[in-house]
Amino acid sequence: MTSSFPIRLFVICVVCGTVFALPCLTNKSKQDFNKARNALKSLENFLKNQAISINSKVQALDKDMTLMEEDFKRRQWIKYNKHCYYFGDDSVIWTDAERRCREIGGYLVKIEDYSENSWITQEITKSSKKTYYWLGSTDAVNGDWRWIYDQTQMSYKNFISGRPYPTSSSASYTYNCILLHYGNGNWYDNPCSKSYPYVCESNFCKFYTASYN
C-alpha cells in the first residue's frame, strides 16, 4: 500500500498539471471563433439582402399583376364557359397574333368542341370586319396539327372539305396556320405570313365585360 502511494501521487500531479496548464481559449480557438462569428455575420447580412431583394421582387410582381388586371378590365374580354376571349381587330401575321395574345395575358385561341367554335363564329360575325380570324394551331411538323397553347393534338376539327391540304400536296409545306371564316365557322389552313385579325383566349377570367355561360 505504501509503495503505490508515490505512483498515485505522480498521476494526480500530472493530470492536475495538464489541466491547469490549458488556457481557457487558445489563439487558434480564438481565430476559429472569430471566423465562425464573421461567417454568421456574413450569413445574417446575406439573408437581410435576400429578404430585401425578395420583397422588392414581390412588390414588382404585385405591380405587374395590378397592371395586368387593369389592362384586362380595359380590354373587351368576353367570358364564355369559364374562359375569356378577346377579338383583336388589327390584322397581323400569325406569329404576331400569338405574341399579342401573350402580351395581354392570354394565348391564341384553342377550340375544343363544336359549341365553342359556334360561339366564336357568332361573336366575330358581330364585328365590322367580315373576314377570317387566326386560330392558335400550326403544323410545325408537316401534317401534325397542334395547339400552340399546350402542344396537344387536335381532338376537334372543323376544316372545310379538302382542307387541310394533305401532306402529299406541295401547298401543305407552306399552309401551316389555321383561319376561321367569320360566316360559316369553317377552318382553312393558310400561309402564316398573311395578315388577319385574331382570337385570344385566357383562363384568367376575374374581369370581363359580358358573360355567356
Grid cell listed for 154:
387536335
* Fold held by 79-212: Mannose-Binding Protein A; Chain A (3.10.100)
Beta strands, E only, the chain: 78-80, 83-92, 107-108, 132-141, 144-147, 177-181, 187-190, 196-202, 210-212
Distance (Å, whole) CA 88 – CA 96? 11
The pLDDT averaged over each successive group of 10 residues in the chain (213 residues) is 50 43 65 83 87 82 58 71 93 97 95 97 87 95 94 95 92 95 95 97 70 51
Grid cell listed for 108:
391564341
0.75 exceeded by pTM: no
Q: What residue segments make up the domains of the chain, in order of their start? A: 79-212
Distance (Å, whole) CA 185 – CA 53? 50
